[in-house]
């Protein structure tokens, strides 16, 4: 670990120590794994937790709350619902005159309203990239993308209501009758809400599947053939009221599959940074990312981490002649966020996750100046970021029917003959520090006895260095992906 990474950890740790309590409010308990593993905070320091899914992290010293079970089945449920008992925790903070840092991957409307209703905003500092729920939904809304991003990186599209005619849409977009369209729910997450449609019947089936009302607006775009998704992220670091620096994490190869049981819905299966993109792709990615970041800061004052999703056009397997299209902005922690921290540590960069917390917790220009100094030039940082390969991770979703987890499989595993064997290693960060990461995969999963069925978010993550899960030249998952997924499912449920 180099001096600048060490300095960033010390600064971040000092800022957390300024608060009387730390709370964690989020869909999954592993969202604060990296700052715990880096000793920025201690697990036992977290006083209150509110989670939907407990993946490999147990807050034994915390008051832990869960929302209604069904609220975990949708984006709206995670965004809008909270256990009412949190209200009493807020009252306790007010009475005892404490200051609390809320570690939150994204805002929660119910919690936001609770705090405002008690006039307690000064007692809580929220680390979510965008803390205001109304503002958050504006950026999350795919129909507003044209107001934020450069026009030359956007796919031809229209925003339409559910009574639209597919033939008319194709004519407006100057497409042939045989061309396919991509329909997106304006607000969705977790790899859901995107569908391929060919005709009016497909269109109507999808609208029924997403339970659209007469007032529902959807985004419909031309299909970019021979293209596949890629995930990136930026960190907006303020300089003054009108200027900022924009730093980027590397662009991934995003692994997707089509679930035929969901009206041709695309689902995210994971991300792979093991194969580097060409210089042309990275150059275009940095250009778009900087433009989006500077616009978000100048117009709306956004700071910290923001996720960016792209499509990369493939010309006969020639990735040196490439078009990059921005498809959505995620003003929240993405599934990739903690894994980008591992990528940064592997390449000797200050993780943007640490920079994000410093930005959100700092209340003076001195700390931000220190952060900019140790991050260094955005140009140098961004080239280093995009020129290095990294880890890969796989998502495993809930089975859709009620099942009970039969085994505790969280931990470190080696790959031997296409199967996983348990080995002793505390965390991927420990392995990185020991320079001993090759061939090791780490699993985060629910504990034995946990009942799973229709959770919205993934319930298990498998991640590590040394094996690719994505073959970009087809593109499809690799044989390694299929072997590991089968083995993990077997270990979880049998």
Give the closest residue to 188 by CA, choosing from 155, 211, 162: 211
306, 140 Cβ separation under 8 angstroms: no
Q: What is the pTM of this model?
A: 0.91
306 vs 332: CA distance, rounded Å: 6
**Structural domain boundaries in the chain:** 3-128, 156-223, 224-390, 392-493
Tell me, which fold does domain 156-223 have in CATH? Answer: Dna Ligase; domain 1 (3.30.1490)
The pLDDT value given to residue 468 = 83
The pLDDT value given to residue 120 = 96
Tell me, which fold does domain 224-390 have in CATH? Answer: D-amino Acid Aminotransferase; Chain A, domain 1 (3.30.470)
The pLDDT value given to residue 262 = 42
Q: Which residues contact 62 (CB under 8 A, 6 or more apart)?
A: 24, 46, 47, 48, 49
3-state secondary structure 383-424: HHHHCCCCCEEEEECCCCCCEECCCCCCEEEEEECCEEEEEC
Residue bearing tokens 């300095």: 7
The pLDDT value given to residue 315 = 65
The pLDDT value given to residue 261 = 37
103, containing H or E segment: strand 100-103
The pLDDT value given to residue 260 = 35
439, 431 Cβ separation under 8 angstroms: no
126 vs 104: CA distance, rounded Å: 7
* 3-state class (DSSP) for residue 455: coil
Length of the chain: 494
Q: How far is CA 448 from the centre of its chain?
A: 26
299, 305 Cβ separation under 8 angstroms: no
* 3-state class (DSSP) for residue 16: helix
10-residue mean pLDDT series, the chain (494 residues): 95 98 89 92 94 77 84 70 94 97 94 95 96 92 90 90 84 90 78 79 80 77 86 97 96 72 59 89 95 97 96 68 85 91 95 98 95 98 95 87 90 81 81 81 88 78 86 75 88 89
The pLDDT value given to residue 264 = 47
């Amino acid at each position: 670990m180099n001096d600048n990474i060490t300095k960033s950890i010390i600064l971040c740790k000092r800022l957390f120590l300024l608060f009387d309590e730390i709370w964690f409010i989020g869909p999954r308990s592993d969202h604060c794994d990296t700052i715990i593993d880096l000793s920025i905070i201690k697990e036992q320091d977290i006083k209150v937790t509110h989670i939907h899914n407990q993946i490999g992290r147990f807050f034994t010293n915390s008051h832990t709350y869960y929302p209604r079970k069904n609220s975990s089945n949708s984006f709206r449920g995670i965004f809008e619902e909270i256990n009412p008992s949190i209200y009493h925790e807020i009252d306790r903070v007010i009475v005892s005159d404490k200051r609390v840092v809320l570690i939150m991957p994204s805002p929660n409307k119910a919690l936001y309203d609770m705090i405002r209703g008690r006039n307690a905003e000064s007692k809580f500092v929220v680390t979510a990239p965008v803390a205001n729920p109304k503002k958050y939904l504006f950026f999350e809304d795919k129909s507003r993308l044209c107001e934020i991003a450069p026009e030359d990186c956007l796919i031809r599209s229209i925003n339409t209501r559910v009574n639209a005619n597919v033939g008319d849409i194709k004519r407006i977009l100057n497409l042939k009758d045989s061309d396919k369209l991509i329909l997106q729910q304006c607000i969705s997450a977790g790899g859901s809400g995107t569908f391929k449609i060919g005709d009016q019947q497909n269109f109507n089936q999808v609208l029924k599947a997403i339970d659209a009302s007469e007032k529902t607006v959807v985004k419909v775009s031309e299909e970019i053939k021979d293209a596949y998704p890629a995930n990136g992220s930026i960190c907006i670091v303020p300089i003054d009221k009108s200027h900022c620096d924009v730093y980027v994490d590397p662009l991934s190869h995003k692994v997707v599959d089509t679930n035929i049981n969901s009206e041709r819905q695309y689902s995210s299966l994971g991300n792979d940074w093991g194969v580097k993109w060409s210089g042309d792709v990275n150059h275009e990615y940095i250009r778009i990312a900087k433009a989006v970041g500077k616009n978000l800061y100048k117009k709306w004052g956004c700071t910290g981490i923001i996720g960016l999703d792209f499509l990369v056009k493939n010309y006969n397997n020639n990735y040196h002649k490439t078009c990059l299209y921005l498809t959505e902005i995620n003003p929240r922690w993405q599934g990739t966020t903690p894994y980008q921290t591992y990528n940064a540590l592997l390449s000797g960069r200050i993780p943007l996750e640490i920079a994000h917390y410093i930005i959100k917790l700092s209340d003076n220009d001195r700390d931000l100046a220190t952060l900019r100094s140790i991050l260094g030039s955005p140009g140098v940082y961004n080239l280093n970021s995009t020129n290095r390969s990294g880890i890969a991770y796989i998502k495993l979703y809930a089975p859709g029917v009620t099942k009970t987890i039969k085994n505790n499989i969280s931990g470190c595993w080696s790959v031997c003959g296409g199967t996983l064997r348990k080995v002793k290693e505390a965390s991927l960060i420990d392995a990185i520090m020991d320079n001993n990461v090759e061939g090791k995969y780490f699993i985060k999963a629910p504990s034995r006895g946990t009942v799973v069925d229709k959770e919205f978010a993934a319930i298990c993550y498998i991640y590590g260095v040394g094996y690719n899960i994505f073959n970009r030249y087809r593109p499809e998952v690799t044989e390694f992906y299929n072997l590991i997924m089968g083995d993990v499912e077997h270990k979880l449920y049998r």
